[in-house]
Amino acid sequence: MTISGSKNAALPLMAAALLADGPVTITNVPVLNDIFTFNKVIAETGTEVTYDRDQRELTIDPTQMDSYVAPYDLVRKMRASFYMTGALLGAAGYARVSLPGGCAWGPRPVNLHLEGFRALGAEIEMDGGYVIAKAPNGRLPGGSFTMTPSSVGATVNLVLAAVRAKGRSVIRNAAMEPDVVNLCENLNTLGARISGVGTPVLTIEGTDRIQPGTINNTPDRIETGTFMIAAALLPGSDVTLTNTLERDLGSFTDTFRKLNTGLEITDSTIRVRSADRIPPVSIQTAIYPGFPTDLQAQWATMMALADGKSTVTDHIYPDRFSYVPELVRLGADVERRDNMVVIKGPSVLKGASVMSTDLRASVSLVMAGLAAEGETEVLRVYHLDRGYETLEDKLNAVGAQIRRVSE
Ligand code: EPZ
């Protein structure tokens, strides 16, 4: 199975392209609904967006940019559109961006983004659900900001705003996720001056220009982890993932080793052979390099099949458990306690109709369906298509039986 380019790393690269004074080509961009949505958001500014789907290459040319607005009807579809605030502040010294909504599992605040922009010298005001961000005299001075908690999105947005500031900026307790590292490394190849990449302290010397050029998206670590778990929970699996980067999984790999599967790792492939039994392995999510919150639903699904009791705790999003009632419908024994679920296995799952609520919950229900007896119908799979490229083709190629039916 080939791993696609990362959704959560591609979106920041797309926003970063607005900072350049010419066309930027991004490689390994996955063909996903969220990418199409963000293309529309970017095109709203007058920026030219060309997407070569076969090549998975996106070219963004901001030279004709003449508007600095990201409208509600697009931002509400994909909250990462909020990255337009940092990009437009950095590129044009002005941004009018709709506040993003919440999501399926609860509030998704942006207070750190706004406090951070102010720390860099921006004037921020709210107007009818929109954030108006202005740089005095058209260019941010730069400044220092310590974020609590560490936030991927806020780190991305502040890097985008800071790279073309007049002076130096320092971001402390910055996120270290591979998505952020990939953004900073790519921006540096286009002339940005970011140091401390991959550490909690990013120091950014403002530069006058970000050059045109080609930047490279990184493989999707969440898709990688998802398929590793899918392989581990299906008896008799022997799956090799290609075009991937195990190092981006952080501590997930060590946790995964506790499953006693066959695991062979090279610099771009990961081979997983399922074990005879799934031991109960409890996990707690944390910021990188801890266990990713985007993999907790998938792990909980596997633990329903494990022979024993385990817990899954989410410290990033305490409410990210909307998949639990759906797993219970399939016959799992899962009990929610605040930001933790207690899972008693092994359960024999039986196929049923279940409802997707968000991207990672939906893929967990597909995985549960693969392990269940009989047929499972997963509804609202538009959630799935936001973040997984041709999921059923990839899984069917390794023995699954999934077909897409019109709802
Ligand atoms: C990114 O969201 C990802 N989205 C999420 O993936 C991922 O779950 C999340 O990081 C955590 O890893 C994209 O990259 C597009 P955060 P983001 O800001 O940036 C709190 C998926 O499935 N917070 O790191 O929004 C927040 O409430 C998606 O692909 C504030 O309090 O996440 C949370 O508890 C879902 N104030 C914590 O920080 C703020 O201003 C981490 O959130 C911002 C965040």
pLDDT value at residue 407 = 57
Report the distance separating Cα 150 and Cα 115, nearest Å: 13
- Smallest CA-to-CA distance from 312 within 345, 284, 279, 344 is with 284
| Domains of the chain, each with CATH number or no CATH | 7-216 (3.65.10.10), 221-396 (3.65.10.10)
Ligand 1 mean position, distance from CA 152 (Å): 6
Q: What is the pLDDT of residues 327-340, one digit of tens each?
A: 999 999 999 999 99
Atom of ligand 1 nearest to the CA of 8: 14
pLDDT value at residue 258 = 98
Q: Is 314 in the pocket of ligand 1 (CB under 6 A)?
A: no
Report the distance separating Cα 183 and Cα 44, nearest Å: 23
pLDDT value at residue 106 = 76
Mutate-to-test residue for ligand 1 from 7, 105, 131, 151, highest number of ligand atoms within 8 A of CB: 151
Report the distance separating Cα 208 and Cα 192, nearest Å: 9
Ligand 1 mean position, distance from CA 311 (Å): 22
Q: What is the pLDDT of residues 73-112, one digit of tens each?
A: 999 989 999 999 999 999 999 999 999 876 777 778 999 9
Nearest alpha carbon, ligand 1 atom 7: 294
Residue segments in the chain with a per-residue pLDDT below the cut of 70: 102, 407
pLDDT value at residue 230 = 96
Atom of ligand 1 nearest to the CA of 107: 27
**Annotated catalytic residue: which of 31, 65, 103, 275?**
103
Q: Is 109 in the pocket of ligand 1 (CB under 6 A)?
A: yes
Atom of ligand 1 nearest to the CA of 114: 40
- The DSSP letter of residue 193 is E
Q: Is 111 in the pocket of ligand 1 (CB under 6 A)?
A: yes
Tokens, residue 329: 């419908």
Rg for the chain (alpha carbons), in Å? Answer: 21
**Partners of 144 in beta bridges:** 170
Q: What is the pLDDT of residues 283-327, one digit of tens each?
A: 999 999 999 999 999 999 999 999 999 999 999 999 999 999 999
What one-character-per-residue DSSP string does 284-325 give? EB-STTSB-GGGHHHHHHHHTTSSSEEEEE-SS-TT--TTHH
- Is the Cβ–Cβ distance between 171 and 116 less than 8 Å? yes
Ligand 1 mean position, distance from CA 153 (Å): 6
pLDDT value at residue 105 = 76
184 is catalytic: no
Residue 97's φ and ψ, nearest 5 degrees, are -125, 135
Atom of ligand 1 nearest to the CA of 177: 12
pLDDT value at residue 102 = 67
Ligand 1 mean position, distance from CA 164 (Å): 24
Nearest alpha carbon, ligand 1 atom 25: 153
Q: Is 151 in the pocket of ligand 1 (CB under 6 A)?
A: yes
Sheet holding 283-284, edge to edge: 283-284, 309-313, 340-344, 333-337
Report the distance separating Cα 239 and Cα 222, nearest Å: 16
pLDDT value at residue 104 = 73
Ligand 1 mean position, distance from CA 253 (Å): 22
- Tell whether pTM > 0.95: yes
Nearest alpha carbon, ligand 1 atom 28: 294
Residue 24: Cβ-neighbour burial (10 angstroms; 0-12, 13-18, 19+) = buried
